[in-house]
Amino acid sequence: MDADVMTRPQAASGMTQAAPLLRVTDLTKSYGHVVGCRNVSFELRPGEVLGIVGESGSGKTTLLNAISGKLPPSAGKVEFDTSRFGLTDIYGLNEPDRRRMQREEWGFVHQNPRDGLRMRVSGGANVAEPLMNLGNRHYGQMRAATIEWLERVELDTRRIDDKPRNFSGGMQQRIQVARNLIHGPRLVFMDEPTGGLDVSVQARLLDLLRELVRDLGLAVIIVTHDMAVARLMADRLIVMKNGFVVETGLTDQVLDDPQHPYSQLLVSSVLQI
């Protein structure tokens, strides 16, 4: 379905179908003889939400780390439509350019907010840090933007100067979401963003994420083992098993009519109440 785009490496405007924001080609990562993920290829368009599902150990996180520039792959390419260089292999960029691109154009929401937040500085400073990284040197402006974003993620703005440890798990995750969206990224990676939260908090956070993603027109790659999260968030799904992609397709298609035996197992394993 993407054949016409495949022949055009440069991002082009004015096409009926948007050029890919991210293109992953034959991505393989092995740890010695242990395979993390193998021969993964897909494309992501601006504003699209892609879910990666599978059981633990299936290579979801390896894939996410390889795509997000944290883990150089053993083989294959990860190309991103950078604002400075166009569609470029991110591992072909030199390190300062890659770090700058990650800082300016990406966000990464970790499963554990402790991995994504600086626990020793206040929630407000955590949210404002991406602005400082982009060169903002005006305290008043950053403070105003931080308050606006705390409101958007439905946090009490009077608690702006509290340390992250004084917030509940769900609130910490909201701070992390605000921190990763304040600088206007084009692509956000989420690694089990609702893992470890109780169901009602999970539902509210998912609702919020869905709203923000839709309002901002963000492209998102979300890794989850929770089919309900995938159903709510993702437009498209990739089902992984043992490092291979076993099935891809529109979310509703995959969940309502799974073709691969493993997808069928995965869908039928969801607990009903």
Partner 1 sequence: MTARPNEPERYYNYAYLDEQTKRMIRRAILKALAIPGYQAPFGSREMPVPYGWGTGGIQLTAAIIGPDDVYKCIDQGADDTTNAVSIRRFFAQVADVATTEETGEATIIQTRHRIPEKGLTEGQVLVFQVPQPEPLRGLEARETETRAMHAYEEYGLQYVSLYESVAAHGYIASTVGYPTMIEERYLMSPSPIPKFDNPKLGQNPAILLFGAGREKRIYAVPPYTNVRSLDFEDHPFETQTWEEDCALCGAQESYLDEVVLDDSGERMFVCSDSNFCAERRAAGHAGPMAGHQLAALDKEPA
Contact characters 154-183, partner 1, x per CB under 8 A? ------xx----------------------
Structure-block tokens of residue 5: 């785009």
Nearest distance from residue 96's CB to partner 1, in Å? 4
Q: Where are the alpha helices (DSSP H) in 106-192?
A: 113-116, 123-133, 139-152, 169-181
Out of 8, 70, 84, 143, the only residue in the binding site for partner 1 (CB under 8 A) is: 143
Nearest distance from residue 249's CB to partner 1, in Å? 40
- CB neighbour list of residue 175: distance below 8 Å, 6 or more residues apart: 113, 117, 123, 126, 127, 150, 153, 155, 164, 167
Does 144 interact with partner 1 (rule: CB under 8 A)? Answer: no
- For partner 1, the closer of residues 100 and 225 by Cβ is 100
Nearest distance from residue 120's CB to partner 1, in Å? 7
From 138-146, 215-223, 227-235, 264-272, give the range in contact with partner 1 by CB under 8 A.
Answer: 138-146
Nearest distance from residue 91's CB to partner 1, in Å? 16
Nearest distance from residue 128's CB to partner 1, in Å? 6
- For partner 1, the closer of residues 160 and 229 by Cβ is 160
- For partner 1, the closer of residues 75 and 134 by Cβ is 134
Q: Helix or strand or coil: residue 102?
A: helix
Nearest distance from residue 137's CB to partner 1, in Å? 5
- For partner 1, the closer of residues 106 and 262 by Cβ is 106
Q: Which residues from 76-135 bind partner 1, rule CB under 8 A? A: 95-96, 99-100, 103, 118, 120-122, 124-125, 128-129, 132-135
Out of 16, 140, 158, 268, the only residue in the binding site for partner 1 (CB under 8 A) is: 140
Residues at the contact surface with partner 1, assessed by CB under 8 A: 95-96, 99-100, 103, 118, 120-122, 124-125, 128-129, 132-135, 137-140, 142-143, 160-161
